Amino acid sequence: MQFNSITRNSGRTSPGTSVDNLREIGQGRPYDLYPLRGSPYNRDVSSGDNLLSRPSGDTLLFDADDTLWENNIYFERAIASFISYLDHKVHTAEEVREHLNRCEHATIAAHGYGLRSFRRSLVNCFEDLSGSVTDQQHQRILGFADSIAHHEIELLPQVAETLAHLSNRHRLILVTKGDPVEQTGKLERSGLAPHFTAVEVLPEKHDEAYLALSALHRCDAARTWMIGNSPRSDINPALRAGLHAVFIPHDFTWVLEHETVEQAPEGQHLLELKSFQELLQHF
């Protein structure tokens, strides 16, 4: 078990921040973090919301894409096909990819995550680099993105078996981001839904989101762990929000999720595991 510790960041948001105060963040824009109970997007998977009915032990927050199932490899294949189709005569494939990354940054900021934003980014990138997009080209570009939606859910090794064991001893909550319909649809197709007591699909995963989520689900920070593959969205913001974290790297983590993994503040713990199944050695 690997533990890291550093001095706690004095600039961290106060743990006493209320859920209501966290609904407005950023540039004064309403932060619709939780439609709360009754929402088709962020709903309990199992019945009951009684504290006494929850499994004893820790609260384990799980990322979904590239933590529970393969995801980014399908985007990478679609991008490779897109770059090949563009076949730009001036820019190299690497330069086209860099421009697509910038398009994705801008699209996500304006429209959020998900396949709709990815489609928009591909079209914008093609138009920027080629000057125009014909109807035929537009349909071909959309086809690269649409191919992702038709993939079967491919669970990562030992995920189903590990979650089955963990859910008998701990409270498991799925914490993902993106398009709510897409993310909950993937969960339903994965067959993993019965292992989770709740599902949260967030527009973004940052410090304030984890603080609000912890307050909503009445998490004891000392016994709550965020588990995922993304330093930017899973590990670093959870640590800054006062939680523990488990980093399970994935070879094909999305480039926009890359970030240096921070050390755990004093009193918190950070584990780095080679496989999902290793969770059973710690929980």
CATH classification for the domain delimited by 20-69+155-281, as one of 3.90.79.10, 3.40.50.1000, 3.30.43.10, 1.10.3720.10: 3.40.50.1000
Over 60: is that where the pLDDT of 7 sits?
no
d(CA 145, CA 142): 5
Dihedral angle sign, alpha carbons of residues 179, 185, 187, 189 = negative
* Average pLDDT for the chain: 81
CATH architecture for segment(s) 72-149? Orthogonal Bundle (1.10)
Domain extent listing, the chain = 20-69+155-281, 72-149
Q: Which residue has the higher pLDDT, 38 or 249?
A: 249
Confidence of residue 54 (pLDDT cuts 50, 70, 90): very low
What is the value of pTM for the model shown? 0.74
Rounded mean pLDDT of 143-153?
86
85: phi > 0 → left, psi -120 to 50 → alpha, else beta; which?
alpha
Check residues 34 and 80 and name the one with the higher pLDDT.
80
Q: What is the pLDDT of residue 224?
A: 97
Of 61, 95, 86, give the one whose Cα is nearest residue 244.
61
Once rounded to an integer, what is the mean pLDDT over residues 230-250? 96
> Phi/psi zone of residue 178: left (φ > 0), alpha (ψ -120 to 50 degrees), beta?
left
Integer-rounded Cα radius of gyration of the chain = 20
How many other C-beta atoms can be found within 10 angstroms of the C-beta atom of residue 255? Answer: 12
* Angle of CA points 227, 233, 237, to nearest 5°: 85
